[in-house]
Amino acid sequence: MTSPEIHAAQRLTPAELQAVNFQRAPLGRRGFDEEQVRAFLGQVEQELVRVLNEKADLENEVGRLRERLAGGGPDAGAIQPEDAHIQAVRILSNAQQTADQYVADAQRYSREIAEEARRGRDEILADARSRATLVLEEAHRQASYAAEQVAPSTEPMSGDERRDLEREIAYLRTFSDVYRTHLRSYLEALLRNVEEWEKSERDSLAGTRAALPRMS
Amino acid sequence: MDAQRLKDNFAQVAQHGDAVALFFYSDLFLRNPRLREMFPVGMSHQRDRLLAALGRIVSQVDDLHNLVPFVQQLGRDHRKYGVEALHYPEVGASLVTTLRYFSGRSWTEELARDWTDAYNLVSKVMLDAAQEDASVHPSWWNGQIVAHERRRFDLAVFRVLPDRPFAFQPGQSVSLEVPARMRMWRYYSMANAPRPDNTLDFHVQLIDGGPVSPVLVRALRVGDWIKLGPPVGTMTFNERSGRDVLLIGGSTGLAPLKAILEQIAALPNPPRVHLFFGARYLDGLYDLDDLQKRAAGMPWLTVIPAVSDQDPGPAAEHGTLPDVVGRFGMWQNHDAYVCGSSGMIDATVDRLLQLGLSQDRIRIDKYADA
């Protein structure tokens, strides 16, 4: 199902609620928050399942009561084995629904955390890029300054050419010093960061491995 | 057997939606507690699949030509779950109980007979297919991880060595199960043509909040064992057509296309091949180095990388795959193979049809999100 049209002749089913897709609002038009709409649809779907379940239970109950009245047997008051089985089915179904809910919650939680981590990563990358630009600019500025400071040579043979070369050397030396220092401290910080991540990742994975779901 | 009566009754029962499958499984597990172990903890997807399969079977109950291959595939596919012949009558009993429960007062003796007959027929077709398959293939293969490489923080390429010969067609996929996520089988495509050493390559993109893909990307290690089901899928290479070839892969949708590419490379006279490989960001082109290396040695192969969500500069084309493919010319005389997310596939197929390529020359493989 790809459109939110609901056929008037047909009854709405939980599966349709799950599969419904809304068109995007045209540009410039305001719409509802998509996450909120999805979450609400999820609630409606669960409620619909519950109501349908209860309806089926009641219909069945009515059927059996009718039969019992019609039969009017001597043990009309006693619990039939079939009733006990239906009750057990109902209890197990409720338990399963609770389990499904927990699984769905856990998955949503993990998705949210992962999305947050992804955003964090993008920010760190953007930050690193702008820092790199800053480092380069800073190195350039300092190196230019150093080149300016090269004292005019006292050697009689020196011409403009030689002075230019010395300036160039001073520029490059300072540039590389500054750049290397900045880069080293930045890389060290990043490395510490990565080590922390790896440690926490190892810890969390060790946790999940130890606690494998096991059914009996 | 009255097909219309079955359809009417199922339509009435199916109005209860998820409650039907919920009742069915509870009834089945209460009668046969040991069967619960064959299913995952969370059952929502399982119930959806059951209802979808039942709906399809009932809607085609008078169209055996189309129904039988589907049911045979179901039978073969159930072998890897450990389903055996003795389970079939148990399932049938619970199915009839469920249908009777939800039919309420409209349940009749005739309906009971119709459903029992229909179920016996379907289960016989499934069992026959499963038994025929059992004489040729194991129920599943065990595979050991022999290499695992993280190409990006959320993307891994790994190599598996199955414990027995594993025959497949390039372009096919297989369901995998990891010990850390029992009973949760997910389909992935082989990224290579069959090799003498029997190894298989897989490309996996981590899906936020997914139960299986994060384990495959982050936790799998060399030496670990996984289970593999039988190969499936129909996006295989049409060797007889003789036409030139257009391969279009979005992200890890590249995997089956790479397998087809290897198959083509082994031909004595390979056709011209254009391979479009797309991702949202430049660093999502996780396999571009390898592709370009191959292209350098294969004059008949052109690789065109595309990036949609950032300006890639000279490294790749800028745009979505359908846009970039459309920009590159006329594909009427090509066979096209398309794999990626379902949104990417729909948009790409639409564009190819607009460009004049006929539907019967387009083969697709949609991978499900895991």
Q: Is the pLDDT of residue B325 over 60?
A: yes
pLDDT of residue A63: 78
pLDDT of residue A75: 53
Give the integer Cα–Cα distance in Å for B338 and B357.
Answer: 13
- A34 or A176: which leads in pLDDT: A176
**Best of A100, A124, A198, A203 to mutate (most B CBs within 10 Å, chain B):** A100
pLDDT tens-place string over residues B308-323 = 998 898 999 999 999 9
Rounded to a whole number of angstroms, the distance from the CA of A74 to the nearest CA of chain B is 24
Please give the mean pLDDT across all residues of chain A: 77
- The token pair that represents A211 in the structure block: 């606690």
pLDDT of residue A47: 83
Q: Is the pLDDT of residue A213 over 50?
A: no
All residues of chain B having their beta carbon less than 8 Å from the beta carbon of residue A42 are none
Portion of chain A with pLDDT greater than 90, in percent? 8
Q: Which residue of chain B has the CA closest to A19?
A: B48
Q: What is the mean pLDDT of residues A173-181?
A: 85
Contact B18 A49 (CB under 8 A): yes
Strands B155-162, B317-318: pairing kind: unpaired
All residues of chain B having their beta carbon less than 8 Å from the beta carbon of residue A99 are 41-43
Q: Is the pLDDT of residue A7 over 60?
A: no
pLDDT tens-place string over residues A129-167 = 888 888 888 888 888 888 777 766 555 556 777 788 888
pLDDT of residue A74: 52
Nearest to A205 among B16, B43, B219 (CB): B219
Contact B25 A97 (CB under 8 A): no
Please give the mean pLDDT across all residues of chain B: 93
Portion of chain B with pLDDT greater than 90, in percent? 81
Q: What is the mean pLDDT of residues B271-276?
A: 96
Domain B141-228 matching CATH 3.40.50.2300: the answer reads no
pLDDT of residue A61: 79
pLDDT tens-place string over residues B137-187 = 999 999 999 999 999 989 999 999 999 999 999 999 999 999 999 899 999
Task: Kindly compute the dihedral angle of the four CA atoms of residues A135, A136, A137, A140, in this order, to the nearest 10 degrees.
Answer: 120
Same fold across B3-134 and B244-366:
no
Does any CB of chain A come closer than 8 Å to the CB of residue B342?
no
pLDDT of residue B332: 87
Contact A110 B43 (CB under 8 A): no
- B15 or B123: which leads in pLDDT: B123
pLDDT band at A189 (very low <50, low <70, confident <90, very high): confident
Q: Which fold has domain B3-134?
A: Globin-like (1.10.490)
Give the integer Cα–Cα distance in Å for B235 and B187.
Answer: 14
All residues of chain B having their beta carbon less than 8 Å from the beta carbon of residue A118 are 154, 208
Q: Which of A113, A120, A116 is nearest to A193 (CA)?
A: A120
Contact A215 B41 (CB under 8 A): yes
pLDDT of residue A195: 81
- The token pair that represents B25 in the structure block: 């499984």
Does any CB of chain A come closer than 8 Å to the CB of residue B37?
yes
pLDDT of residue B171: 95
Portion of chain B with pLDDT greater than 70, in percent? 99
Q: Is the pLDDT of residue B216 over 70?
A: yes
Q: Does residue B256 contact residue B187 with C-beta atoms inside 8 Å?
A: no
Q: Is the pLDDT of residue B132 over 60?
A: yes
Contact B22 A93 (CB under 8 A): yes
Does any CB of chain A come closer than 8 Å to the CB of residue B16?
yes
All residues of chain A having their beta carbon less than 8 Å from the beta carbon of residue B26 are 88-90, 92-93, 96
Q: Which of B210, B212, B213, B228 is nearest to B145 (CA)?
A: B228
Residues with Cβ within 8 Å of residue B192, at least 6 apart in sequence: B170, B199, B200, B201, B258, B259, B262
Q: Which of B314, B316, B268, B308 is nearest to B288 (CA)?
A: B316
Q: Which of A39, A17, A102, A112 is nearest to B42 (CA)?
A: A102
pLDDT tens-place string over residues A113-134 = 988 988 998 898 888 888 888 8
ipTM score assigned to the predicted complex: 0.75
pLDDT of residue A211: 47
All residues of chain A having their beta carbon less than 8 Å from the beta carbon of residue B105 are 59, 63
Rounded to a whole number of angstroms, the distance from the CA of B105 to the nearest CA of chain A is 7
pLDDT of residue A212: 45
pLDDT band at B302 (very low <50, low <70, confident <90, very high): very high
The C-alpha angle A103, A108, A110, rounded to 5 degrees, equals 95
Q: Where are the domains of chain B?
A: 3-134, 141-228, 244-366
pLDDT of residue A55: 80
Contact A112 B209 (CB under 8 A): yes
Residues with Cβ within 8 Å of residue B226, at least 6 apart in sequence: B142, B143, B145, B160, B176, B177, B178, B179, B220
pLDDT of residue A205: 66
Q: Which fold has domain B244-366?
A: Rossmann fold (3.40.50)
